Amino acid sequence: MASAAPTSRQRLLLWLGISMLGVGLAGCNPSWRQRLGLEPKPAEGPAPSVSDGPSSAPLQPGRNVIVSAVERVGPAVVRIDTLKRVSNPLGNLFGAGPSIQQQAGQGSGFITRSDGLIFTNAHVVEGADQVSVTLPDGRSYSGKVLGGDPLTDVAVVKVVAEKLPVAPLGNSDDLKPGEWAIAIGNPLGLNNTVTAGIISAVERTNAVGAGQRVPYIQTDAAVNPGNSGGPLINASGQVIGINTAIRQAPGAGLSFAIPINLAKRIAQQIISTGQASHPFIGVRLQSLTPQLAREINATSKTCKVPEVNAVLVIEVVEGSPAARGGIRPCDLIRRVNGTQVKDPSQVQLAVDRGRVGQAMPLIVERDGKKLELSVRPAELPRGE
């Protein structure tokens, strides 16, 4: 029996079946899927930009300023080991040990002369019976303490040697906050450690207590026990200070260094005479403010002062250079040796830059009038 011809409905179903089969076999046909909206059309033109910054050539490798500075100074930075004999009051009693014991200490220093002259801190070598100096290359020498100044914490050590590496000395008078500050030393017994930061401030006279004779350099370069006596250097590889003190605070720490210009002046005195010379004039001073002036004027019958910011003399030591020079209580000190002063610390530093027995001009204000006086500083008694 002959089969009947497919109806129009059958032909439509057959066509749809073939079409669906084609979709299953050729489902990756992008033009067909795009026509049905199953795939996005490819974007026309270039891809969208995620940056409009100008193109630039890659940075070329160069010398790091810190590396260069350390290479220049590092060979002259030394480790200083000390031995001090201390008395044991319980020695030979109940097995408490010998009556004399040895106490070891360690610090840093740096060579300033090729024949073995070394700067360090006075507290590093104070009371030491033996001093050993070790260079980064391993050479070791027995050192002799030429002298130390407890007021500025500067000391000078000498070793017998020749042609040693030398640390160049810079100029600490020109320092500005924000400059590089690099510390080299032996913190916590770790030899030749380098830390870096910036100069945070200069002339910190109240860094480690009031009445200091040192305008300390403040830095955020990490300094720890053992760094004492080591150099603080600038980006040019010059020593600008001697690391001497730290102040710890939760989560932070501050470091302080003796300006190298002051250290050089003290060291020259030690080399010449075996000790440092500190002038004094014999006055007690107070920072005057308008509020304090009003209180003084309201309560004192002998002292009337202007309501200004200034340096007020509150006491003159009897028989002192200041007394002989005509300075009186209630005077306002305006200038010392040509330097304008605004607080007692500046007066102290200006006096300390003078010389014992040499006339020092002062300008004071008394009863609204300016007077020019001359004072000859005397030697500050030892132990004061």
- For 98, the token pair is 């010998």
153: annotated active-site residue: yes
What is the pLDDT, as a whole number, of residue 41? 57
pLDDT exceeds 80 at position 28: no
pLDDT band at 26 (very low <50, low <70, confident <90, very high): very low
Cβ atoms 230, 185 nearer than 8 A: yes
Residue 287 amino acid letter: S
- Which region among 23-27, 75-79, 203-207, 244-248 has the lowest average model confidence (pLDDT)? 23-27
Q: How many CA atoms lie within 13 A of 88 on its CB side?
A: 15
Q: What is the pTM of this model?
A: 0.76
- Which region among 146-160, 213-227, 319-333 has the lowest average model confidence (pLDDT)? 213-227
pLDDT band at 209 (very low <50, low <70, confident <90, very high): low
What is the pLDDT, as a whole number, of residue 206? 77
149: annotated active-site residue: no
- Check 153, 320, 345, 352 and give the catalytic one: 153
pLDDT exceeds 70 at position 315: yes
123: annotated active-site residue: yes
Cβ atoms 259, 172 nearer than 8 A: yes
What is the pLDDT, as a whole number, of residue 327? 96
- Check 123, 132, 200, 220 and give the catalytic one: 123
- Check 228, 255, 320, 345 and give the catalytic one: 228
